Amino acid sequence: KAGVTQTPRYLIKTRGQQVTLSCSPISGHRSVSWYQQTPGQGLQFLFEYFSETQRNKGNFPGRFSGRQFSNSRSEMNVSTLELGDSALYLCASSSRLAGTNNEQFFGPGTRLTVL
């Protein structure tokens, strides 16, 4: 069974630009969660999608948005990039809503650098 895939793996953008990251969950998984990982803050929850609906949201500004498609693939978008948005963005999938005892499987992440 293929794992969670994220594209692209690396991305360099400049301040003010916008970026779209993609996540393909494990086949059959309907829940996709997004996290931002930075050295100082660790993993910070962004949002979770289940069956194309946002079910939970973290404390991030509205510049961070996401969506999920009918095939469970998910995208997250960051508009008006700031230097502080430089981070590893991780996607995790699970077969049920994340936060249950159902394990979340993480992808390798997309490393975003904002110059």
Partner 1 sequence: QQQVKQSPQSLIVQKGGISIINCAYENTAFDYFPWYQQFPGKGPALLIAIRPDVSEKKEGRFTISFNKSAKQFSLHIMDSQPGDSATYFCAARGHTGTASKLTFGTGTRLQVTL
Give the C-alpha distances (Å, rounded to integers) separating 15 from 38, 41, 80, 84. 18, 21, 7, 10
Report yes or no: 97 and 54 within 8 Å, Cβ to Cβ: no
82 versus 103: smaller Cβ distance to partner 1: 103
Residue 86 φ/ψ, nearest 5 degrees: -60, 120
Quick note: the x/- pattern for partner 1 over 30-59, rule CB under 8 A, is ---x-x----xxxxxx--x------xx-x-
Interaction between residue 104 and partner 1 (CB under 8 A): yes
Q: Which residues of this protein are in contact with partner 1, per CB under 8 A?
A: 4, 33, 35, 40-45, 48, 55-56, 58, 90, 92, 97-101, 103-109
